[in-house]
Amino acid sequence: MKTCKEFCDNLSDYLDGEMSSDECRLIEDHLAMCPPCALMYECLKTTVSICEKGVSEDMPEDVKERLKVFLRTHCKSDRLKFREE
């Protein structure tokens, strides 16, 4: 995993636990060397865990917006979808 684009393309699978341990290691390698992606990962992990607990309506709008803007500008990828509605 050498680019942020690849990282983003695979991050949702990683968060869903759908990756092999080899693939997980690639994700973790990228996290270790790319602070912006590490930050995004932390934000997404929090978002996902909040959504899974069924309290996503409590997440502040500005936080959701900030995440979306970050993903759009940093990753140029629309593959990561937030679980809204």
Q: Is 37 in the site for Zn ion (CB under 5 A)?
A: yes
- Does residue 67 bind Zn ion (CB under 5 A)? no
Instruction: Taking each helix axis as running N to C, give the angle between helix 4-15 and helix 35-52, from 0 to 180 degrees, rounded to the nearest 10.
Output: 20
C-alpha distances out from residue 16 to 12, 55, 68, 73, 80, Å: 6, 18, 19, 23, 12
Residue 34 engages Zn ion in binding (rule: CB under 5 A): yes
Give the shortest CB-41-to-Zn ion separation in angstroms: 9
- Regarding 43 and contact with Zn ion (CB under 5 A), the answer is no
Q: Which residues bind Zn ion (CB under 5 A)?
A: 4, 34, 37
